[in-house]
Amino acid sequence: MFIDEAEITVRAGKGGDGAVSFRREAFEPRGGPNGGDGGDGGAVVLAVKPDMRTLLDFRYRDVFKAERGRSGTSKKHSGRNGQDAVVPVPPGTVVHDLDLGRQVADLVAPGQHMIVAHGGKGGRGNASFATPSRQAPRFCQLGAPGEERHLRLELRLLADVGIIGYPNVGKSSLIARVSAAKPEIAPYPFTTLQPNLGVVQFEDFTTMVIADLPGLIVGAHEGVGLGDQFLRHVERTKLLVHMLDASALEGRDPLQDFRDINRELELYDERLVRLEQIVALNKIDLPDGRERVPELRAALEAEGRAVFPISAATGEGVEPLLDHVRERLFARGHTVEPEPVPEDEMELEIPALPRRELSARRVDEETLEVSGTRIENLAATVDMDADEAVAWFQRQLEEQGVLEALRVAGVEEGDTVVIGPVEFVYTTEEPRR
């Protein structure tokens, strides 16, 4: 099955906690602090894997987590960094960030990769909090949480030429004839349920990639038939071969088909109808087909279209069609090699989520919740088991305006305050020393 869309959650590793530890030496009962720093959490990285063709793997797995950093240990040993989680994606993967609500990358080149979730920083060990006035800090910093992001992946085929047309007109037959692709071909509509890619090689060894797309019918842009789910692949192509069944084997009027499909393209996205279209009048091996060629050709040429009568079945007329497609492609700056991705786009990083301002709100009768990027990050790394760290955090609450925000939100003695992973009871009494 061809899966070309997937939603995934990526979760980077939490940083390792710093360590609280003191030197113990035979002649120095109260040695200096020597707790090491925690390691950084691993990142989640999307990486283009050239031999991957669909997003099928994401059907079975949609959450990707990187390893957490290890905690620091004594003797100032830092914890090991967490391993990155590398998630392979096929070339042509467009990445959307669901929280930012926009596209953040278009991954096309082998080896191209993007960090989509940053690992949390490791916490500092008590050794790094020692100062002349605080020689024995009994606290450390906890590792910061890893970033979590929600992404939609969308695959857009990297084809130069797309073959479009009603079901059964012979699109798959054409790609089977001109390339090594072996699509299913059958005398009923909607044989092709997923795009097929084929590489056409010319005598001078230039190549082009063509895509045989599932048939389109009236209403496709609203989801009729196989709907518009494959139209996005058309967006990437440089030109289209619009195939008509000249023999009108199924009783439809080929010219009407032509207009209907162009209307569908337009309704889906106006840019699509502006792509150059070369018309292939197929099935001219059938008497009905050959007979209608002059009339169809005249009508389409009057609209400025290049028209090629062919038979995908016998091969008649296929070469002139391909030559013309090739000529038009190169006229549009086609290169045989996919366009190189600039060096600075090989290693990408997802843009940060906007910072959230500090705010406090009451959630129920005895609870208030404080949110804000800065204070939440801070709260996540405070070692609440250590009095010194708690005292420091309390000063931060005052300095950063959290207490003021709580008062504005109507905090009362005894209320519970929640900040990220931290929960405490609000009181105006001086702490007992």
Ligand X SMILES: Nc1nc2c(ncn2[C@@H]2O[C@H](COP(=O)(O)OP(=O)(O)OP(=O)(O)O)[C@@H](O)[C@H]2O)c(=O)[nH]1
Q: Which residues bind ligand X (CB under 6 A)?
A: 165, 167-173, 185-187, 189-192, 214-215, 282-283, 285-286, 311-313
What would the two tokens of residue 66 be? 């990187």
Query: Could you tell me which residues are beta bridge partners of residue 426?
Result: none
Partner that binds at residue 144, options Mg ion, ligand X, none, CB closer than 5 to 8 Å by kind: none
Closer residue to ligand X (CB): 100 or 255? 255
Q: How far is the CB of 202 from ligand X (least distance, A)?
A: 22
Q: How far is the CB of 245 from Mg ion (least distance, A)?
A: 12
Closer residue to ligand X (CB): 18 or 317? 317
Closer residue to ligand X (CB): 45 or 307? 307
Stretch binding Mg ion (CB under 5 A), from 95-103, 168-176, 230-238, 358-366:
168-176
d(CA 83, CA 43): 7
d(CA 22, CA 364): 44
Binder of Mg ion out of 71, 78, 93, 192 (CB under 5 A): 192
d(CA 195, CA 215): 10
What would the two tokens of residue 71 be? 């905690």
Give the dihedral sign, CA 385/389/395/399: negative
Partner that binds at residue 187, options ligand X, Mg ion, none, CB closer than 5 to 8 Å by kind: ligand X
# of chain residues touching Mg ion (CB under 5 A): 3
Stretch binding Mg ion (CB under 5 A), from 97-105, 183-191, 197-205, 247-255:
183-191
Q: How far is the CB of 228 from Mg ion (least distance, A)?
A: 17
Closer residue to Mg ion (CB): 191 or 373? 191
Q: How far is the CB of 224 from Mg ion (least distance, A)?
A: 17
* Of 227, 230, 232, 257, nearest in space to 243 by CA: 257
Q: How far is the CB of 241 from ligand X (least distance, A)?
A: 11
Residues 200 and 210 sit within 8 Å (Cβ to Cβ):
yes
Q: How far is the CB of 259 from Mg ion (least distance, A)?
A: 21
User: Is 247 a residue that touches Mg ion (CB under 5 A)?
Assistant: no
Closer residue to ligand X (CB): 18 or 215? 215
d(CA 105, CA 93): 8
Q: How far is the CB of 16 from ligand X (least distance, A)?
A: 55
Give the chain's length.
Answer: 433
47: three-class secondary structure by DSSP: strand
What count of Cα atoms within 13 Å lies in the side-chain half-sphere of residue 188? Answer: 2
Residue identified by tokens 């989509």 is 116
Q: How far is CA 385 from CA 81, 382, 390, 393, in A?
A: 24, 9, 8, 12
Closer residue to ligand X (CB): 145 or 215? 215
**Contacts with Mg ion, residue ranges (CB under 5 A):** 172, 191-192
